[in-house]
Structure 1
């Protein structure tokens, strides 16, 4: 036998139908009509039954023909024998609700005929509520014989009928009835979640519990708070659980929740309206962020911050600042995973504050400016805490990747082609994390109130320079150590870390809280010393590589010839012994080793070389005339004048040129 059609099946069908537009609601209504027709056919019941036995006569009253038939209603006996008879009423109620939502969606797009359509919506919702009320009355009747329905199934019917009633009340703007109906629906849905969300629950039960929880958070809680605020504006600071308990009408829902809940403690908290989150306002009345103090007026925001601080206790005691007597040290991977709960809790706090600000801004009730300013202070506090823990988590991830990177670099000599790719991927990953940290710091600077805080702004500016230097150093490590890119990036990293103001980073005397310990707990002197040493080593390697490249270039240019002594002295006073392969320095005081030439005999020069050199020796005019006069005097010839010498010189030169080389 198929299971009965109850709230769980209707919620699944709503989710599967993806109800967003009027066309979706119309299609969903047609689907419900088809299901209702097949169910009636299966159970062999008619849509209408005769109002009276026998046929009506012509002499009957005028209204007798109008009440000739009446809608079919399952009896207690039928419901006891087969639970599927309840689906006839619930499917009819769901179909009427779908028709109402279709008309509402159409009215939002077309304002024409709004009063008639509004009346049609209210009539459809009233019809849906009527079907649900009939079934609820039968099931809650103490004298009823429908013992086949369990408390869980009865609570589904009561909760569904409360949802239909609340929808009709809020459409008619009857907020007093709407807040009571939503309080009943909130209690019923929370009880259903407590019955399903257990440690040993099946996947189907967990999925159904998620559907109930989504319905609570997306529809019931906002509508309950809205209706309560319309009645009393002071209800804004009351938790939803306390509001539901305050406006809960007299109903057997309490007994049903206690009977089906697996956790009796949580069930009593639900029905009493008191829990840790509901008492958060008394636990944390104010928020202190640096020099600003804000009063918490919203119970939801207070509960979220209390939960986030509770998650911080585990984070600080086990991961960030573990005690000295810890039995086991967590690995870097476990430390990174340990941030998840705190990050999720602070994200919930940020969302709660954002919703509170949106609600106050869009509310028709004029809120004082002081309340809005307090909410912005709380928003800055929550975002500041969230981003600080995110940066701390990113630092743990960097340590984890650096550890893996060092292992990969050690294997670079054995498997160079594979490891180089892995090293490059690790360098890119670490650089990306540093980019994320810099973006997070930029988000902090954009928070309300941070720009006006000079001390905090200076600290964030120095922190940004510090992480920028680490990012540049990581980029430099991705290049070969002797390359010009590595030397340039290392120099930029040193310049950035030297510009960090260590005094600005010390905010302990201004703010002694956990956020400052997490965010500004950096080792600037150690990083400066390390980066400077690595930058100097990289510059030295670069210069040596440059000298080697120049020597190699000159060797290629002068290939096959010996270099000049002057070039050897100015470039590098060293040479390599080809026999031993060792580098030796040149003895500049003994450029020529004469011992190597001790057993060699010099080669005598041939006379023809001297004759050739003599013929190319030139003299000045005066010296040549004196030599000619001296030769004439020795021969007994009279001296000639200047003119005669000039006349006879060409003849003599012409006579000497003839066979001047072979005549000697």
Structure 2
């Protein structure tokens, strides 16, 4: 019959595209179609006749009669919710008349559902299974609890909601688990908690205890069916039976952190903290054969404790928000206890988150170069041994180092978040240890970056980063040396022991000597190369001596001239001979030397002739006037 699934799916579909008024209109159409199929619909312009009650035989013959009753109850519930939503914006709250109408609609829905439950209880004629009968009673109790909630009858409200919670926990299956879980977490549990608060029930009582006490006042038939179907639910009070939490018996009443012991007054916080302690023991058991687990599998083992820690953080924050809404001041002892609890559960969450990062990085927190590698696929027997140990490409090595750096950054951010928690700054011992832990992971981060520079061939950057990492490790070593853990098999968390710090310090000291040696070798090679180039350049002629030749490989700017300069001949253009030629006096023909050559004599004759013609021209009188006409 799937009563719960039918109701929940109808509500979800209607709320997805509209509101409660839309849901009510849809239900009116479904009711008319259902009556038409069953041939009990009132004809147009016909007189209304009261419908006879539904019998078990009718339900056994056709489940449409059951759907008809469920749709009728849902329409009344949707009408009440639509009225409540319409008046929810009133500043003074819902007045008496609208509230009375809302309660009337809810009361009608609850009476209709109770009739369905009574009809199905006759299993001999209705053909209903025990789970169907329990679901019908749970649905009726849920609607009745909603009506008592609006009436503000808190004791009756607790009884009705307790019946619904116990039954839904009993009939929950892996197939329908999500439906019942949503009903419990979103509707039933918040209503029970608020009704218990209004009924002056102490917060120290968990919901399971309240529900178990209230369920004893339920119908005897319902109690017998629940005991037959799932007796553990009666003992543990509902959903927590499958989680191994038995109300107040299995939850702690105090919380110890940093030498302080506070009383846990909220039952939800106590349950969540008990779950954290349980998951801590389970994590230790899972990681006991750590040698046979890969880093990825070891990190997956932290999921449960991280979930439990996050639940504890959420319920603590919710309790603080409720106190603030009630006007409780920060100086109130209850608020002070909650603030200490908040710091403790947040510290626990961040601690396990850092531990998961440390497991992913690898052994020794990724200090060794052969750890923290990405998990590879399993090797087959056909693969040879040399192929398994094949060298990894530099690009993949740098990529893995980048993954390590990302994990180190996340760890440093988590440590910074811890330092901002209330009360941490006033604890000098804890603050100094957190600062030393941050320096430890900073040294590891610098070591990973230095190794990437070493792979890329930047030896000077590698030396500088390793020196900085060693300085950070030396600053953290005195503080971390005082931290020792009893048993090295405990799961990794935020606690860095002195053994880890000393191992890192020894490794960085060796890496520093290695980096210095590599830089020294690099400098010697550079000096040898420079001297070789200088010798080669000194044996070759300088660039100024080869101006007529074009250098095929480019000019050697390191060999332009000889240095230090040397005394050598410099080729120049004989321009001084041309200038000196103008100042040479040649003797005339008469004074020519006897040994003068024929060419020189002919040249002298030409010079003498030119000189005599010039003398004759000077002896002639010059003409005056225009065009040579003189007087």
Q: TM-score, normalised by structure 2?
A: 0.73
Report how far residue 463 of structure 1 moved.
0.9
Query: Is 1:464 the equivalent of 2:438?
Result: yes
Q: Cα deviation per residue 1:182-208 (whole Å; 9 max; x = unaligned)?
A: 111111211121xx24xxxxxxx2xx2
Query: Is 1:88 the equivalent of 2:68?
Result: yes
Report SS of the residue matched to 1:500: helix
Give the aligned CA root-mean-square deviation in angstroms: 3.9
Query: Is 1:536 the equivalent of 2:533?
Result: no
Distance (Å, rounded) in 2 between the aligned partners of 1:156 and 1:338: 37
Q: Is the 8 A contact 2:163 2:218 kept in 1?
A: no
Distance (Å, rounded) in 1 between the aligned partners of 2:329 and 2:435: 39
Report how far residue 473 of structure 1 moved.
0.8
Report how far residue 293 of structure 1 moved.
0.8
Q: Is the 8 A contact 1:245 1:272 kept in 2?
A: no
Distance 1:505 1:281, change over 3 A: farther
Counterpart position of 2:609: none
Query: Is 1:127 the equivalent of 2:108?
Result: yes
Query: Is 1:527 the equivalent of 2:496?
Result: no
Report how far residue 260 of structure 1 moved.
3.1
Report SS of the residue matched to 1:35: helix
Q: Which segment drifts farther, 78-87 or 392-401? A: 392-401
Distance (Å, rounded) in 2 between the aligned partners of 1:163 and 1:532: 69
Distance (Å, rounded) in 1 between the aligned partners of 2:519 and 2:240: 72
Counterpart position of 2:256: 288
Q: Is the 8 A contact 2:352 2:493 kept in 1?
A: no
Counterpart position of 2:573: none
Q: Is the 8 A contact 1:311 1:341 kept in 2?
A: yes
Query: Is 1:370 the equivalent of 2:298?
Result: no
Q: Which runs of 5+ in 2 are unaligned?
A: 377-384, 542-568, 570-631
Distance (Å, rounded) in 2 between the aligned partners of 1:481 and 1:327: 36
Superposition pairs of residues 201-280 of structure 1, within 5 angstroms:
205=175, 208-234=176-202, 236-248=203-215, 249-251=217-219, 252-261=221-230, 264-270=231-237, 277-280=245-248
Q: Is the 8 A contact 2:358 2:492 kept in 1?
A: no
Report how far residue 243 of structure 1 moved.
0.5
Report SS of the residue matched to 1:287: strand
Distance 1:124 1:553, change over 3 A: farther
Q: Is the 8 A contact 1:163 1:185 kept in 2?
A: yes
Report SS of the residue matched to 1:293: strand
Q: Cα deviation per residue 1:203-231 (whole Å; 9 max; x = unaligned)?
A: xx2xx211101211121111111101111
Query: Is 1:10 the equivalent of 2:27?
Result: no
Superposition pairs of residues 376-525 of structure 1, within 5 angstroms:
376-399=339-362, 402-403=370-371, 405=373, 419-479=393-453, 480-503=456-479, 506-507=482-483, 519-522=495-498, 523-525=500-502
Counterpart position of 1:596: none
Distance 1:504 1:549, change over 3 A: closer
Superposition pairs of residues 104-253 of structure 1, within 5 angstroms:
104-109=84-89, 114-115=94-95, 116-140=97-121, 146-193=125-172, 196-197=173-174, 205=175, 208-234=176-202, 236-248=203-215, 249-251=217-219, 252-253=221-222
Distance 1:231 1:365, change over 3 A: farther
Counterpart position of 2:309: 346
Counterpart position of 2:620: none
Counterpart position of 2:57: 77
Query: Is 1:28 the equivalent of 2:23?
Result: yes
Q: Is the 8 A contact 1:438 1:467 kept in 2?
A: yes
Q: Is the 8 A contact 1:380 1:447 kept in 2?
A: yes
Distance 1:179 1:117, change over 3 A: same
Distance 1:49 1:376, change over 3 A: farther
Q: Cα deviation per residue 1:83-119 (whole Å; 9 max; x = unaligned)?
A: 2211101111112222222232232346599535434
Q: Is the 8 A contact 2:169 2:238 kept in 1?
A: no
Q: Is the 8 A contact 2:169 2:239 kept in 1?
A: no
Distance (Å, rounded) in 2 between the aligned partners of 1:286 and 1:498: 39
Report how far residue 317 of structure 1 moved.
4.3
Counterpart position of 1:641: none
Distance (Å, rounded) in 2 between the aligned partners of 1:309 and 1:464: 26
Report how far residue 544 of structure 1 moved.
3.4
Picking from 310, 326, 339, the partner of 2:278 is 310
Distance 1:360 1:311, change over 3 A: same
Count of matched residue pairs: 520
Distance 1:366 1:183, change over 3 A: farther
Picking from 33, 37, 45, the partner of 2:32 is 37
Distance 1:527 1:406, change over 3 A: farther
Distance 1:482 1:517, change over 3 A: closer
Distance (Å, rounded) in 2 between the aligned partners of 1:478 and 1:411: 25
Report SS of the residue matched to 1:237: coil
Q: Which runs of 5+ in 1 are unaligned?
A: 56-64, 198-204, 565-608, 610-664
Distance 1:364 1:184, change over 3 A: farther
Query: Is 1:301 the equivalent of 2:269?
Result: yes
Distance 1:95 1:364, change over 3 A: farther
Distance (Å, rounded) in 2 between the aligned partners of 1:327 and 1:451: 36
Report how far residue 281 of structure 1 moved.
5.7
Distance (Å, rounded) in 2 between the aligned partners of 1:113 and 1:490: 68
Q: Cα deviation per residue 1:621-646 (whole Å; 9 max; x = unaligned)?
A: xxxxxxxxxxxxxxxxxxxxxxxxxx
Q: Cα deviation per residue 1:585-633 (whole Å; 9 max; x = unaligned)?
A: xxxxxxxxxxxxxxxxxxxxxxxx9xxxxxxxxxxxxxxxxxxxxxxxx
Distance (Å, rounded) in 2 between the aligned partners of 1:78 and 1:368: 65
Report how far residue 329 of structure 1 moved.
4.1
Report how far residue 152 of structure 1 moved.
0.8
Report SS of the residue matched to 2:125: coil
Report how far residue 454 of structure 1 moved.
0.8
Distance (Å, rounded) in 2 between the aligned partners of 1:332 and 1:166: 50
Report how far residue 445 of structure 1 moved.
1.4
Report how far residue 342 of structure 1 moved.
2.3
Report SS of the residue matched to 2:347: helix
Distance (Å, rounded) in 1 between the aligned partners of 2:530 and 2:79: 88
Report SS of the residue matched to 2:255: strand
Q: Is the 8 A contact 2:237 2:247 kept in 1?
A: no
Distance (Å, rounded) in 1 between the aligned partners of 2:58 and 2:124: 10
Distance 1:186 1:527, change over 3 A: same
